[in-house]
Amino acid sequence: MKPHIEKLLATAALAVVVSLLAPGCGQKKSASANNAVSDAERKDMALASFVAPGEKDEYYLFYSGGHSGQIYVAGVPSLRHISTIPVFTPYPGTGYGFDEASKKMLGDYTWGDVHHPALSQTDSLYDGRWLFCNDNANNRVARIDLRDFKTKQILGPIPNASGTHASSFVTENTDYLFLATRFSTPLPRGRVADPKDYAKEFNGMITAVKVDPKDGEMSLAYQILMPPLDFDLCSTGKGPSSGFAFFTSYNTEMAGDLLEVNATQKDRDLAAIVNWKAAAEAAAANKGTVMNGVQVLDPSKVPGILYYVPVGKSPHGMDTDPTGQWIVAGGKLQPSTTVLNIDKIKAAIANKDFDGEFRGVPILNYNSVVEGEVPVGLGPLHTQYDGKGNAYTSLFVDSNITKWKLPPWTDAEKKDLTSVVLDKMPVNFSVGHLVVAGSDTKKPYGKWLVAMNKLSKGRHVSVGPSQPESSQLIDISGDKMKMVAEAYTEPEPHFAQIVAVKDLKPIEVYPKTENKDPNAVWDAKETGVTREGNKVTAKVIAVRSRFIPDRIDANVGDELIVHVTNIEQAGDMIHGFGVNDHNLNVVIDPGETKTFKVKLTKTGVFPFYCTNFCSALHQEMQGYLVVHPEGEPVAKAD
């Protein structure tokens, strides 16, 4: 990494010098480190990204929040942060992780590492139902319901898998989503082996998770036992590549230590091509062995489910184009992307056009399946598509986005693939992922590209050493890319999805008729506090601007269970329930019932109050939890 950083610093310093030396001519000095922005350009940029007060964005941008464990929602083109969806980390802003249902989902974990959000698809188009995302740290995957933008399920920890980085990626009709491991361990997990014996004793895993088409409920389908390669990213097929999933990996060397050196020795690494339909059939026919309750297929014993293909050194992204014909791997340690042709892959499989094998699995002949290596620049990571035959690759080392033309190429172009490189746009700095609106569908919206840069060095007012990440909005509607806007986000976006606002239909209140919580109360007469042994149950209504009842009495040592129903049916009438000195805050949306439990360990009178501003008399919306000494008779609540 060090040489990268040094190069980056040098590039940044040079860019600053260049911008300082740029001619004045009445122009304001550049806000960008790369180029001066004239007043005319400044106006163009502002008009392109400006969303006036009262107007709305055209697209949602769902960012992964990396090790913050959350998903962030921003608008495009404004890049304004709109909302945070808590997924793997408690979030008092929405009371997530405080009520019983969300606490149960989180289990004992208080963080996750969200890398790749994936919108559900039907017929290779976003269907607006769910957003899935992975937790690389704790081997989990979550489902967010886009009807209410809430996390509804966390599946995992997935057995036999460590560091599910290459996830979540859905198949063309969301039958499955795939997770592949970045880390390998001795299996079954819990077994100890020496990392010196890494190649022999360690294994990775590809996991297929089944998604129920009715309600999105995820369950483990099957796994494929993999050699100890570090699987990085995945892309699923569509059209001609329907039924396949493609995974990049690094560490073909199978090094168990000092990966910086030992995992970068070979000129090419192996990408895995999974025929997931064949694998599903093999699993259904019990052709694997059961490990920790999951059917695990050994691809050396089940031919036809897995193939390898060599791609550019230390690849990162793996992206299928909107037609399903071209699959592009970004080899971050070589200056080109590798373009695979699915027709040639299928022919090579049919003709057994193999170049040896790796652990009993055929390696497809490189020259037979590769359409070309496009010289995009240094450090290609990810590729996205606009649906008009163009690809956009992020260059980590060069800190730019390269636009290039997808095949089919003319003979002249094939002879010199520099001719298919159409444009380059510098970004600031070290772009990792990028996203084009709708890129992974068969009909991208195009128009906008967001570059998710890894280092924001000096792009914003100083906020001390803990700096945000930088994201830049680029207009890709013309021949040349145009930089339009820049914004910042919490750590740390890895990937994102952009979907048109018109394609989602979120609700604004939970309809009363849909509230099936047996502890919901809608009438003041049904509220109250009851005791059963040491268990005290309160059924409470929250409504502008009071709690009914506004007094709860119990004794120290009791377990207090509170069910709060927000009986509002008006949008944005959200109430909170924060209990003084009890580390407790739930937030209840209109029409929702939430339950929290607390063991009462200290006597006293503890105010509770509405934490989410709700009306002019919000400040008056409060009550008391009276915790009496043990054995003292308890007053009856009003």
Q: Which is nearer to Cu ion, 403 or 539 (CB)?
A: 539
Residue 69 · residue 113 · CB < 8 Å: yes
Binding mask 170-189 for Cu ion (x = CB under 5 A): --------------------
Distance in Å, CB of 551 to Cu ion, minimum: 17
Alpha carbon distance 363, 385 (integer Å): 28
| Residue type for position 574 | I
| 567 makes contact with Cu ion (CB under 5 A) | no
- Helical ranges in 50-142 per DSSP H: 100-106
Q: Residue holding tokens 């009851």? A: 530
Q: Which is nearer to Cu ion, 517 or 620 (CB)?
A: 620
The string of DSSP codes covering 519-569 is T---SGGG-EEEEETTEEEEEEEEETTEEES-EEEEETTPEEEEEEEE---
Residue with nearest beta carbon to Cu ion: 614
| Residue type for position 445 | Y
Q: Which is nearer to Cu ion, 444 or 591 (CB)?
A: 591
Distances (CA, A) of 139 to 166, 286, 310: 11, 25, 27
- For residue 177, which of 189, 187, 164 has the smallest C-alpha distance? 164
Residue 261's SS3 state is helix
Within 10 angstroms of residue 519's Cβ, the number of other Cβ atoms is 17
Residue 254 · residue 226 · CB < 8 Å: no
Distance in Å, CB of 526 to Cu ion, minimum: 20
Q: Which is nearer to Cu ion, 446 or 623 (CB)?
A: 623
| 342 makes contact with Cu ion (CB under 5 A) | no
Contact range with Cu ion by CB under 5 A, out of 143-151, 327-335, 418-426, 602-610: 602-610
Contact range with Cu ion by CB under 5 A, out of 45-53, 82-90, 444-452, 604-612: 604-612
Alpha carbon distance 184, 197 (integer Å): 12
Q: Which is nearer to Cu ion, 93 or 557 (CB)?
A: 93
Distance in Å, CB of 620 to Cu ion, minimum: 9
Distance in Å, CB of 527 to Cu ion, minimum: 16
Alpha carbon distance 388, 366 (integer Å): 27
Contact range with Cu ion by CB under 5 A, out of 2-10, 192-200, 520-528, 573-581: 573-581
Q: Which is nearer to Cu ion, 349 or 564 (CB)?
A: 564
Question: Residues 294, 610, 627, 637: which binds Cu ion (CB under 5 A)?
Answer: 610
| Residue type for position 630 | E
Q: Which is nearer to Cu ion, 587 or 627 (CB)?
A: 587
Contact range with Cu ion by CB under 5 A, out of 120-128, 405-413, 564-572, 617-625: 617-625
Distance in Å, CB of 541 to Cu ion, minimum: 11
Q: Could you tell me which residues come within 8 angstroms of residue 586 by beta carbon, excluding any fewer than 6 positions away? A: 95, 98, 99, 564, 576, 577, 594, 596
| 165 makes contact with Cu ion (CB under 5 A) | no
Alpha carbon distance 606, 89 (integer Å): 27
| 594 makes contact with Cu ion (CB under 5 A) | no
- For residue 243, which of 294, 279, 287 has the smallest C-alpha distance? 279
Distance in Å, CB of 614 to Cu ion, minimum: 3
- For residue 475, which of 76, 40, 175 has the smallest C-alpha distance? 76
Q: Which is nearer to Cu ion, 461 or 616 (CB)?
A: 616
Contact range with Cu ion by CB under 5 A, out of 270-278, 307-315, 504-512, 619-627: 619-627
Distance in Å, CB of 572 to Cu ion, minimum: 11
Count of alpha carbons within 13 angstroms of residue 296, beta-carbon side: 19
Contact range with Cu ion by CB under 5 A, out of 137-145, 208-216, 249-257, 618-626: 618-626
| 575 makes contact with Cu ion (CB under 5 A) | yes
Q: Which is nearer to Cu ion, 161 or 574 (CB)?
A: 574
| 621 makes contact with Cu ion (CB under 5 A) | yes
Q: Which is nearer to Cu ion, 297 or 614 (CB)?
A: 614
Q: Which is nearer to Cu ion, 401 or 542 (CB)?
A: 542
Q: Which is nearer to Cu ion, 146 or 621 (CB)?
A: 621
Residue 571 · residue 507 · CB < 8 Å: no
Two tokens at 99?
A: 């009520």
Alpha carbon distance 373, 386 (integer Å): 20
Binding mask 522-561 for Cu ion (x = CB under 5 A): ----------------------------------------
Contact range with Cu ion by CB under 5 A, out of 139-147, 292-300, 523-531, 608-616: 608-616
Binding mask 69-98 for Cu ion (x = CB under 5 A): ------------------------------
Contact range with Cu ion by CB under 5 A, out of 166-174, 209-217, 413-421, 610-618: 610-618
Rounded to the nearest 5°, which phi and psi values hold at 106?
Answer: -75, -25
Q: Are strands 118-122 and 150-155 parallel, antiparallel or unpaired?
A: unpaired
Alpha carbon distance 120, 415 (integer Å): 40
Paired with 218 in beta bridges are 211
Contact range with Cu ion by CB under 5 A, out of 38-46, 310-318, 557-565, 611-619: 611-619
Contact range with Cu ion by CB under 5 A, out of 345-353, 441-449, 504-512, 569-577: 569-577
| 614 makes contact with Cu ion (CB under 5 A) | yes
Alpha carbon distance 400, 383 (integer Å): 12
Residues that contact Cu ion, how many (by CB under 5 A): 4
Q: Could you tell me which residues come within 8 angstroms of residue 630 by beta carbon, excluding any fewer than 6 positions away? A: 555, 556, 557
Distance in Å, CB of 615 to Cu ion, minimum: 7
Q: Which is nearer to Cu ion, 217 or 572 (CB)?
A: 572
Return the sign of the alpha-carbon dihedral for residues 54, 60, 61, 65.
positive
Q: Residue holding tokens 């000494």? A: 629
Distance in Å, CB of 537 to Cu ion, minimum: 22
Straight-line distance from the first to the last Cα atom of the chain, in angstroms, rounded to the nearest whole number: 66
Distance in Å, CB of 79 to Cu ion, minimum: 31
Residue numbers at the binding site for Cu ion (CB under 5 A): 575, 610, 614, 621
